[in-house]
Amino acid sequence: MDVINTLFFFTGLLIALSVLGSRLSTLFGLPLLLIFLGLGMLAGEEGVLGIQFDNYPLAFLISHLALAMILLDGGLRTRLKTFRVAFKPALTLASAGVFITGGLVGLFAMWIFDLGLVEGLLVGAIVGSTDAAAVFSMLSGRGLNLNERVGATLEIESGTNDPMAIFLTLVLVEILVGDIGGPMETMLMLIQQFGLGLVIGVGAGWLSGRLLRWVDLAPGLYSLLALSLGFCIFGLTSFLGGSGFLAIYLAGLMIGNQKGRHLNYILPVHDGLAWLSQIGLFLVLGLLVSPSDLLHYALPATLVGLMLIFVARPLAVLVSLKPFFKFRWRELGFISWVGLRGAVPIVLAIFPVIGGVEGAALYFNVAFAVVLLSLLVQGGTLSLMARWTRVLIPTPVSPNHRGPLGILPENDYEMFVYRVENEDLADVPIRLLRFPSGALISALFREHAMLHPKGSTRLQLEDVLCVIGRSEDLPALNRLFNGEAKLKQERAFFGTFTFEGEARMQDIADAYGLTLSPGEREMSLSEFVSLRVGGHPVVGDDVDWHGIHWVVSEMDGNRVTRVGLRLY
């Protein structure tokens, strides 16, 4: 009984410290995952609490459960429209990029550790893929509003590159222990990993989404059913020889993109589950490492990590993306820098330990050191690099709070809460506001007192409005309640003047005295900008033409609807 009580106490203590430690991330800019790893190491056998934990199979099981949960949550929050610009480049990075990165790092590790070719390549394969937990956590935790091309590429890459890394690791482990099959068998294994993960993930995920939309459950059961279905998809795909990680990410994608009230109950719960999974995963991996063993490999492992960050990842991104896709150099630079390593390399490093590979401690400690270096160097400078490479766009205005009313099963009405911060709205009667036709103000709060708004009620700064509407009303409402600070940021980025995407280039050229080629005269501004950026424009794309920056400020699907004019 004492063992159980002790387990509960230390588990609760470590999770509580991890949650409270998140304040250190805010105060000092430390990556959260690095704090979780550090706490795990401090609690380990050579740390303060002296907890002895060397059960690699148990750690392997916990890691798989946690990663599956993190990938499911990541898929739930990824919008299918982002695949418009990012699917092909992300898939290229998730396959060829991992292969190139692993090969370059493997050759360097072979030289630095004096290993054979296969042993060196195994080191490269283990650290070759980016980590979904690290990427999702860093990008969302830092509040970075990246342009869609860059942000979607990074998120989709991290969610889909596990099959290639697992395939390479398993093949190299089997070579070292003498269980490798022929070339055809190896290729079949690769096809199974990607093919079954793709087919089962999309198919079963779509069916799961339909079930969640159809079934009528208590609110608390929707998230439990979604998690259960995700685990079933993960287990079935893995049993058949496919990539369970790819399948559960795609299943989450299919569920999260089928609108319905079920998402209102699933997303908040899964956000907490994803955080719990990250905390538990990195605490367990931190407990597993011995700092004294880690120090033994520290110097050469650091060199491997630096080579990965500054040479292998940038070259892999350059070779995989630049010849085939229209990325700008600064975008490629940021994508190269966000090759974050996290739990996945450490989990892959357990494969040689379980497989009985000679010298397996080297792979585990090197992977751990590389992850620490990546989180510290790349994770710690993420915001700085985003500003330096100019991949950020102004954070859009959004309601202070929002929530469904639960009236309709689909396309439900929501309550949006806004604070009046726009000076242009001060002393304006409510009846003069340009409200969307389907929205109305249900309540107004002024100095902590609720007022019943009428058409003649005049707004004041710091008033809080409760607006009932639908999600399609948000763009108009956000523009209406855009605060002065946000307006200044948007004008500085997009320009003071804006044009409709359908404006004729000939009219614009005549107004500003600009020169057009014969083929450009009949184009719309939308077509002109899309052509200049190489197709698939995103908000924030800019075209330097005649000393003027034409900046995409609004999109509707693949179509540019508004373009800003910036005179510098």
With contact defined as beta carbons under 8 Å apart, do 490 and 540 qualify? no
- Averaged over 540-565, what is the pLDDT? 80
Q: Which of 28, 33, 30 lies closest to 279, judged by CA?
A: 33
Helix axes 262-288, 56-76, angle to 10 degrees: 150
Question: What pLDDT, on a 0 to 100 scale, did the predictor assign at position 182?
Answer: 64
How many CB atoms lie under 10 A from the CB of residue 499? 19
- Give the end-to-end CA distance of the chain in Å, rounded to a whole number: 71
Distance separating alpha carbons of residues 189 and 202, to the nearest angstrom: 20
- Give 45-48 contacts, CB < 8 A, sequence gap 24+: 45/290, 46/290, 46/291, 46/292, 47/291
- Averaged over 287-299, what is the pLDDT? 82
Q: What is the pLDDT of residues 356-380, one digit of tens each?
A: 788 888 888 898 889 888 888 888 8
Positive or negative torsion for Cα 127, 85, 393, 399: negative
Question: What pLDDT, on a 0 to 100 scale, did the predictor assign at position 103?
Answer: 92
pLDDT band at 29 (very low <50, low <70, confident <90, very high): low
Q: What percent of the chain has pLDDT over 70?
A: 93
Query: Is residue 203's pLDDT more than 90?
Result: yes
Q: What is the pLDDT of residues 416-453, one digit of tens each?
A: 888 888 777 888 888 888 888 778 888 889 888 888 88
Partners of 469 in the beta sheet?
414
Beta strands 449-451 and 414-419 are unpaired
What is the helix (H) or strand (E) element at residue 485, kind and residue range? helix 484-494
* Residue that has been written with the tokens 């063993």 in this structure: 293
Query: Is residue 294's pLDDT more than 90?
Result: no
* Residue that has been written with the tokens 């969640």 in this structure: 212
Q: What is the pLDDT of residues 49-108, one digit of tens each?
A: 777 777 888 888 888 888 888 888 888 888 887 777 788 888 898 888 888 999 999 999
Partners of 548 in the beta sheet?
545
With contact defined as beta carbons under 8 Å apart, do 301 and 365 qualify? yes
- Radius of gyration over every alpha carbon of the chain, rounded to an integer in angstroms: 26
What is the helix (H) or strand (E) element at residue 419, kind and residue range? strand 414-419
- Phi and psi at residue 260, in whole multiples of 5°? 170, 170
Q: Which of 114, 117, 133 lies closest to 125, judged by CA?
A: 117
Q: Which of 93, 96, 162 lies closest to 344, judged by CA?
A: 162
Please give the mean pLDDT across all residues of the chain.
Answer: 82
Question: What pLDDT, on a 0 to 100 scale, did the predictor assign at position 181?
Answer: 61
Q: Which of 509, 518, 484 lies closest to 565, judged by CA?
A: 509
Question: What pLDDT, on a 0 to 100 scale, did the predictor assign at position 162?
Answer: 77
- Averaged over 136-140, what is the pLDDT? 71
Distance separating alpha carbons of residues 57 and 125, to the nearest angstrom: 20
Q: What is the pLDDT of residues 304-326, one digit of tens each?
A: 999 999 999 999 999 999 888 88
What is the helix (H) or strand (E) element at residue 466, kind and residue range? strand 464-469
Question: What pLDDT, on a 0 to 100 scale, did the predictor assign at position 259?
Answer: 81
Question: What pLDDT, on a 0 to 100 scale, did the predictor assign at position 213?
Answer: 86
Q: What is the pLDDT of residues 239-288, one digit of tens each?
A: 988 888 889 989 998 998 888 778 888 888 888 888 888 888 878 888 88
Higher-pLDDT residue of 308 and 461 is 308
